[in-house]
Chain A
Amino acid sequence: MSTPFKNVIPAGHVHIRDNVVAKGNLTGISEKKDIWAKGLNLPMQAEHMLFAGCGYQQMKYVEGMMSALKSAGKMGMGVGRVVGISKAFSKVGINLTNMTAKTMASKEDPYTPVLVSSVNVLRKLGITPGYLHETEPCCGSPMYYAGFEDDYAENARKNYRIFKDAGAMKLIGIVPGCTSALKYNYPKYVKGYDLEVYHILEVIAEQLKNSGVRPKVQEPLKVTYHDPCQLSRYMKITQEPREILKSIEGIELVEPDAEQVGRWSTCCGGGNLETSHPELSERMGDRRFEALQATGASIIVTNCPACEMQLSHQAKKTGTDIKVVDILRLLDEAL
């Protein structure tokens, strides 16, 4: 008797699918998504709509959950069992994810400030973005990469209606995974998809060139850039972030060897893989972090919440004083 197929789909992926379908976000946490946008006065309707994505909004909870998963793995409990326990609790009406997430949420939260920075940068460069606040849906791309095509397609069609009802025409995505989903995958599943989708770095690079503003950092920095997979290979955005970094006065960009740069950059192991293969993902993170460390840079710049989580975890683990900073935060300080 062979193993039934439904037993071999990783439990973590199934859990994420259930969260997206039932709660409209990755973690299943019923906290308000738009807490970071308080006081920014972002309009509900604008020419350019910001798509913040679950990544930055909820990463502080994911970080706690991931480290819980990894330590459970070391204790001999598989990922599947941990997810199973949380599911059993939810059946009797206790939301374990909600409770653990609130206690395990990292004290320092470097993720939501990236969203604030992105709004600041766009405003400084003359674009007034809008934001859907509570109604912003989850793009659902983890479901796509886990193979749940039907759920993904349904989610995509639902989201398209939400954007249309809000009168959005141009979307500016921040999380690379969400943006590539909205740009390249949605048209495959939604008939007559007519939203223009840009990644925020494309918009910023163009505006920087046109406006002639010269950003400047207080003291000289030596930085290296880590290309997120979804940005460099799925969306082919490799020049823009480097142009932005080079345009900042006082920043020196050092890169690993050519086999590791741009579209050939190695995956850091963060993101979807972490849910099903935490140990493999950890080893991949080790390898990528070593290559970046060897450049001698004091700051690793990247533009993906999953990469940021993975690399800063490595930095903490190795005890180096290398910082992992999002390019938007760096630019916000320099502008």
Chain B
Amino acid sequence: MSSSDLQHLEKEITDNIQRCWKCRMCVAMCPTYEGWFSQSAAGRLMAINLYIKHGLGDVKTLADLIYSCAACRRCQERCRELSTDCHPADTILKARQYLVRKADSEEGKD
């Protein structure tokens, strides 16, 4: 896993998130939503974006947010129909791949 691949993945994720209008149509669609914005696709995407672009937030919380998605694609269906079609569920899966790649590259360093 070269660093250019990792950068490419980062760009792919953030470009996708850029397309999100934050219309919050997906928020109530999320089956994990229990009142916190971070329990929805839009909230997860914002957290991922902040981490990748500005290094904000800690990795543990970020991973918890990313892995608490059920990957049911209900948000994606709503986004496709009513909003910008930014593929929220697929982007969250990409973010999981990003975490795994980061972990792999760490191991390579040791």
Of residues 1 through 49 on chain A, the ones whose CB sits less than 8 Å from some CB of chain B are 2-10, 13
Chain B residues with CB under 8 A of A150 = 1
- Measured in the bound complex, the distance between the Cα atoms of B103 and A150 in whole Å is 13
Interface residues on chain B, number (Cβ under 8 Å):
32
> Do A234 and B73 contact each other (CB < 8 Å), given the known contacts A266-B31, A280-B68, A284-B32?
yes
Task: For A273, give its contact among B58, B59, B68, B101 (CB under 8 Å).
Answer: B68
Contact of A5 with B99 in the complex, beta carbons under 8 Å? yes
- The answer to whether A8 and B99 touch across the interface, beta carbons within 8 angstroms, is yes
Taking CB atoms, residues of chain A closer than 8 Å to B101 are 149
B70 touches A229 (CB 8 A): yes
Within 8 A of A (CB), among B60-104: 60, 62-64, 67-74, 76-77, 93, 95-103
> Shortest beta-carbon distance, A140 to chain B, in Å?
14
**Chain A residues in 8 Å Cβ range of B98:** 147
Binary contact track A184-210/B, C-beta < 8 Å → 1, others 0:
000000000000000000000000000
Q: Which residues from chain A contact B72 at a C-beta distance below 8 Å?
A: 229, 233, 266-267
Establish whether residues B58 and A269, one from each chain, have CB atoms under 8 Å apart when the complex forms: no
Number of residue pairs across A and B with beta carbons under 8 Å? 92
**How far is it, in angstroms, between the C-alpha of A288 and the C-alpha of B32 when the chains are bound?**
11
Give the size of the chain A interface in residues (CB under 8 angstroms): 36
Pair A287/B58 contact, Cβ less than 8 Å: no
Q: Does A263 contact B (CB under 8 A)?
A: yes
Q: Does A82 contact B (CB under 8 A)?
A: no
In the bound complex, residues from chain B placing their C-beta under 8 Å from that of A284 are 31-32, 70
Chain A residues in contact with chain B, CB under 8 A?
Answer: 2-10, 13, 144-150, 229, 233-234, 263-264, 266-267, 269, 271-273, 276-277, 280-281, 283-284, 287-288
What is B's interface to A at a CB cutoff of 8 Å?
1, 31-32, 34, 58-60, 62-64, 67-74, 76-77, 93, 95-103, 106-107
A-B contact pairs, 24 of them (CB 8 A): A2-B58, A2-B59, A5-B59, A5-B102, A7-B60, A8-B59, A8-B62, A8-B99, A9-B100, A10-B67, A13-B67, A145-B93, A147-B93, A147-B99, A147-B100, A229-B71, A229-B74, A233-B73, A233-B74, A234-B73, A263-B77, A264-B77, A276-B67, A280-B32
